[in-house]
Structure 1
Amino acid sequence: MDNKVTVSRKAHFNAAHRLFKPEWSDEKNLEVFGKCSNPKYHGHNYDLVVSVTGTVDSETGFVLNLKKLKDIIYREIEEAFDHKNLNLETEEFKSLNPTTENIAIVIYNRLRPHIKADQELEIILYETERNFVKYSG
């Protein structure tokens, strides 16, 4: 059986952040990032969809056991980011502006080592129900 199938798992985390470049003035940060550059930070209720595409295993019938994917997402993403100030409490964003794009790339990079090399990984990260990014490496 050589059928490619995509399986997905939804997750959720809440996090605060501030979009800014420290070398810019407050005025320029406000001009570029708007309210998201608030020096006192702001938060989002992020929704995450992690999708893995691969061949269905003839023995198990799985592309990837979704319980295993759930555990990986919990350990690598939810525990690391949920109820955190991304700028202050996570190593990745101490020097990287925590835009939704950059958060999606970091999530991908944290998950990729736990997914088989011959399987495709895609991240969809919703900052709001209308604003989201998609990243697949």
Structure 2
Amino acid sequence: MEASGPTVRKAVNAKQPVAFISRTEKFSACHRLHSTQLSEKENQDIFGKCNHPNCHGHNYTVEVHLKGKVDPVTGMVLNITDLKQYMKVAIMDVMDHKSIDKDIPYFKETVSTAENIAVFIWQSLCQIMPDPSLLYEIKVHETDKNVAFFRGEYADM
């Protein structure tokens, strides 16, 4: 006798389910927290040891979370292999083993905080994903205890 679970019937004209998927990557990079809009003393007072002129490094963990309709044919929000490739192009190829402030033009005038790194990754993925509306959240773990996340929200200045 075959074991079977409860009988689940699809409702006629049912709405399409919405699901979340995520993928995690790790990269190593160095940076210096330093604002060109502040004096040397202000930078030192605000950023402390993270303002060291010779940079400091982290082993970052980045989570990319997507939200979307489950395709009735494939059963997927997005093929995870595609997400892996998008993350390689937008994150790994650009940030891994780099000096964030020196090697990535975006950070020449933008302080390379975990918050701004999350925004940068969001914007980079938006440029290469066929459907950037699937992006739900970018989480950047700078350390085991320090995490920033961005959900594509912008406020008026």
Q: TM-score, normalised by structure 1?
A: 0.94
Shift of 1:94: 1.1
Q: Deviations over 1:70-121 (max 9, x none)?
A: 0110111110000000111111111111111111000000012305154242
The one of 121, 125, 130 equivalent to 2:145 is 130
- Is contact 2:36-2:109 (8 Å) kept? no
Distance of aligned partners of 1:48 and 1:117 in 2 relative to their CA distance in 1, 3 Å threshold: closer
> 2:110: which partner in 1?
96
Q: Structure 2: how far apart are the matches of 1:86 and 1:24? A: 19
> 1:119: which partner in 2?
134
> 2:64: which partner in 1?
50
Shift of 1:25: 3.0
Identity %: 36
Q: Deviations over 1:5-37 (max 9, x none)?
A: 000000011111001123433222111001100
- Is contact 1:112-1:121 (8 Å) kept? no
Q: Structure 2: how far apart are the matches of 1:107 and 1:81? A: 10
Size of the alignment, in residue pairs? 137
Q: Structure 2: how far apart are the matches of 1:35 and 1:44? A: 14
Give the 5 Å matches for 1:60-75: 60-75=74-89
Alignment root-mean-square deviation, CA: 1.3
The one of 80, 91, 100 equivalent to 1:77 is 91
Name the larger-Rg structure: 2
Q: Deviations over 1:29-49 (max 9, x none)?
A: 111001100001001110000
Structure 1 unaligned runs (5+)? none
Structure 2 unaligned runs (5+)? 1-14, 153-157
Q: Structure 2: how far apart are the matches of 1:55 and 1:95? A: 38
- Is contact 2:62-2:140 (8 Å) kept? yes
- Is contact 2:125-2:132 (8 Å) kept? no
